[in-house]
A and B are shown apart, each in its own frame.
Chain A
Amino acid sequence: MTDARSTTYLNRFGDIDYFKKQTRFTLRNCGLIDPENIDEYINARGYLALGTILTDYTPQRVIDDIKASGLRGRGGAGFPTGLKWQFTKDVTSDEKYVVCNADEGDPGAFMDRSAIEGDPHTVLEGMTICGFAIGASKGIIYIRAEYPLAIKRLQIAIEQAKQYNLLGNNILGSQFTFDIELRLGAGAFVCGEETALINSIEGKRGMPKPRPPFPAVKGVFGKPTVINNVETWANVPLVFLDGPAQFSQYGTEKSKGTKVFALAGKVNNTGLVEVKMGTTLREIIFDIGGGIGNGKKFKAAQTGGPSGGCLPEQYLDTPVDYESLAQAGSIMGSGGLIVMDEDTCMVDVAKFFLDFTQSESCGKCTPCREGTKRMLEILTRITEGNGKEGDLEKLERLGSMIKKSSLCGLGKSAPNPVLSTIKQFRAEYESHIYQKKCPAKVCKQLLTYTITEKCIGCGACKRACPVDAITGDPKKMHTIDPDKCIQCGQCFSTCKFSAIERS
């Protein structure tokens, strides 16, 4: 898409490697326009796709174009968008809904928030186009309440679109009427799951429902509903502005277009990165991300947030697309990409993610409610030095069972970080269990603190110790009593002479 939009982006940021190596299509306007001014969006070919569709297209042609583009849902599952819209269009109903999932619950993910705060109109336009295609007149954006600025910008955008006759009755003078309203989430990760989200919109407790029936057939208030992620919506106007053939020029055979990643962790350049599907992890982390900071070594890349897996060094040349990442043992997810170095403990990482999913479990189905709790107990024991023979096998069995029998995606994917780290970093787990050692020196209870000859006897550590485990005379080398030591690390951080070693 070497057209006006991407050229402007390169004009403004083009000499900077970090930006030059990206392909900013869905983020084409972010950082370039004022998101609170609809004129700037219109000036950047905004709503032209909608205008053209309302003039020249039939609803079916819209869906055919989306199918031809190869666009797949960007929320994580990658379901073909055209197919989803087709299913919804084919159901006869007096009312249908178009929903935007802006709940973005993954810890560390901010792709959707940034897209909305930078360019809210592209989401509105995408949803309106879908409304026309499937025969819906109502759109709902379900957005988490923790995003006040994004909510404010959406409200302003909706108001401005209404004033310009781009939302509401008889859009741009056509027969088509479409309204969009906002619904705020209330802090539940599980409400990012589509059936729980729909329950939440209906005023019910955010718990998932079995599928089938799928939302396309029976969604909000029992009506056919298309529910897509923010990033998917941002892609929709693009398919029509430059045509589906152009869109499908980018990406791989089965994964067309681009993907936005929230690059975080131990990289030099953290931020929002958008690349063509098929770009390798190595290119993202080293070429765009600038490699690992502080001269440390790369250890793993975690993709897909708490539902994903950790990929070690040998997977760096994996192209980023739905199938390749799944084959490598992780998932695309919504786009979180956390980079870890040699100072990261993989057991601790698995525990962190499982702790999150366990506390977010809605409790409805037993495998997730009970299973994740037991897995977390085992992991916690391991990080505290109480790992036992058979723990790893138990984790693997439990994990496999939870994946197969959970009701929704939260449960089905909660064991992923644990299972993938056990597979790729088994030795690290075994070190925790059998040697009671944490190679990355992270798990506090497995660290031994010793005072070396660098000690000048200042006594600062002795005063800092909360359990009086340090003894010594002034100006003489001090010692730590390992039986009293609770491995809190206070002495280590207090010592100004680097005289305390931890191993």
Chain B
Amino acid sequence: MTPREKIEALQRESQQKISNQLSGKKAIIFVGSATCEDAAGATDSYTALNTLLKEKGLDTQFLIKRTGCTGRCDKEPIFQVVDMAGHSIVYQNMTENKMKEFVEKHLEKNELVKEWIL
């Protein structure tokens, strides 16, 4: 195999791994996690969200992914909630104290919390 063929094979494998991760999921929640986000509390939000999802048995439906810098500094922590059709809702200032409401309203009832939208 040429190097290009090798990387293309790796690409197919990566795609497969990601599809497997996504199968059966309703949405992905991307949590910005770089220095600024963490300084604004993103790590606490991530941990709280993770715990909440496990407690409620929702971790089979929702996947949390940590990303790098989102770039909109004074509104961090920023969450992107992306459904399987690719529609995305971007929430700002998602500190730990909002996690419960976020799970109950957006994730469980599919109700958007308009005040939080960027």
Q: Which residues of A contact B (CB under 8 A)?
A: 11-13, 16, 18-19, 27, 29-36, 39-40, 42-43, 45, 47-48, 50-52, 54-56, 110, 113-115, 117-119, 147, 149-150, 153, 164-165, 171-174, 269-273
User: How extensive is the interface on chain B, given as a class?
Assistant: 35 or more
- In the assembled complex, the CB of A33 is this many whole angstroms from the nearest CB of chain B, namely 6
Query: In whole angstroms, what is the CA distance A52 to B15 when docked?
Result: 19
Query: In whole angstroms, what is the CA distance A369 to B3 when docked?
Result: 52
Is A272 touching B69 in the complex (CB atoms < 8 A)?
Answer: yes
New A-B pairs, 6, CB < 8 Å, besides A43-B11, A271-B74:
A34-B66, A40-B18, A51-B6, A51-B7, A118-B67, A147-B35
Is A271 touching B72 in the complex (CB atoms < 8 A)?
Answer: yes
Query: In whole angstroms, what is the CA distance A31 to B86 when docked?
Result: 15
Is B38 touching A149 in the complex (CB atoms < 8 A)?
Answer: yes
Identity of the chain A residue whose Cβ is nearest the Cβ of B88 in the assembled complex: A12
Query: In whole angstroms, what is the CA distance A367 to B69 when docked?
Result: 40
- In the assembled complex, the CB of A115 is this many whole angstroms from the nearest CB of chain B, namely 8
Supposing A55-B2, A271-B73 touch, asked if A32 and B18 sit within 8 A by C-beta, the answer is no
Supposing A12-B80, A18-B72, A272-B73 touch, asked if A48 and B11 sit within 8 A by C-beta, the answer is yes
- In the assembled complex, the CB of A214 is this many whole angstroms from the nearest CB of chain B, namely 32
Grouping DSSP codes into helix (H, G, I), strand (E, B) and loop, the A interface class, with mixed when no group exceeds half, is helix
Which of A19, A50, A149 is the one whose CB lies under 8 Å from B3?
A50
Query: In whole angstroms, what is the CA distance A397 to B73 when docked?
Result: 40
Query: In whole angstroms, what is the CA distance A384 to B111 when docked?
Result: 58
Is A117 touching B69 in the complex (CB atoms < 8 A)?
Answer: yes
Instruction: Judge if B24 is at the interface, Cβ distance under 8 Å.
Output: no
Which of A16, A51, A114 is the one whose CB lies under 8 Å from B4?
A51
Q: Which residues of the other chain, B, contact A16 by a CB distance below 8 angstroms? A: 90, 118
Q: Which residues of the other chain, A, contact B86 by a CB distance below 8 angstroms? A: 11
Is B7 touching A47 in the complex (CB atoms < 8 A)?
Answer: yes
Q: Which residues of the other chain, A, contact B106 by a CB distance below 8 angstroms? A: none
Is B11 touching A35 in the complex (CB atoms < 8 A)?
Answer: no
Instruction: Judge if B105 is at the interface, Cβ distance under 8 Å.
Output: no
Q: Which residues of the other chain, A, contact B88 by a CB distance below 8 angstroms? A: 11-13
- In the assembled complex, the CB of A144 is this many whole angstroms from the nearest CB of chain B, namely 12
Q: Which residues of the other chain, B, contact A174 by a CB distance below 8 angstroms? A: 3
Which of B3, B65, B118 is the one whose CB lies under 8 Å from A51?
B3
Query: In whole angstroms, what is the CA distance A50 to B13 when docked?
Result: 18
Instruction: Judge if B54 is at the interface, Cβ distance under 8 Å.
Output: no
Supposing A12-B90, A149-B35 touch, asked if A42 and B7 sit within 8 A by C-beta, the answer is yes
Q: Which residues of the other chain, A, contact B8 by a CB distance below 8 angstroms? A: 48, 51
